[in-house]
Amino acid sequence: MNRVEVPTAQPYQVRIGPGAVTELPTLVAGRRVAVVCPQPLVDLVGRLGLHDPVVIEVPDAEAAKSPDVLVRGWQGLAEAGMTRGDVIVGLGGGAATDLAGFLAATWMRGVDVIQVPTTVLAMADAAIGGKTGINIPAGKNLVGAFHEPKAVLCDTDLLTTLNAREVRSGMAEIVKCGFIDDPVILDLVEGQDVLDVTSKAFVEVLTRAVTVKAAVVSGDLHERTSSSGHVGRERLNYGHTLAHAVEAHKHFTWRHGEADAVGMVFAAELSRRYLGLSDEVVSRTRAILLGIGLPITFDEVEWADLRGTMDLDKKTRFDPETGRRVLRLVGISKPGDVAMIVDPDEDVLVECYRSLQPA
Task: Please give the annotated binding residues for NAD(+), written as ranges.
Answer: 60-65, 94-98, 118-119, 131, 140
By the 8 A CB rule, do 232 and 216 touch?
yes
Looking only at the bridges linking them, the beta strands covering 33-38 and 54-58 are parallel
The SS3 call for residue 317 is strand
Dist CA 16 CA 39 (whole Å):
25
Dist CA 44 CA 57 (whole Å):
12
Backbone angles phi, psi at 334, to 5 degrees: -165, 165
C-alpha Rg value of the chain to the nearest Å = 20
> Binding site membership: which residues?
60-65, 94-98, 118-119, 131, 140, 173, 240, 256
**117 DSSP β-pair partners:** 92
Dist CA 55 CA 90 (whole Å):
10
The SS3 call for residue 91 is strand
> Binding site membership for Zn(2+): which residues?
173, 240, 256
Dist CA 89 CA 100 (whole Å):
7
Q: Going by C-beta distance under 8 Å and a sequence separation of 6 or more, which residues neighbour residue 153? A: 15, 20, 21, 23, 24, 114, 115, 116, 117
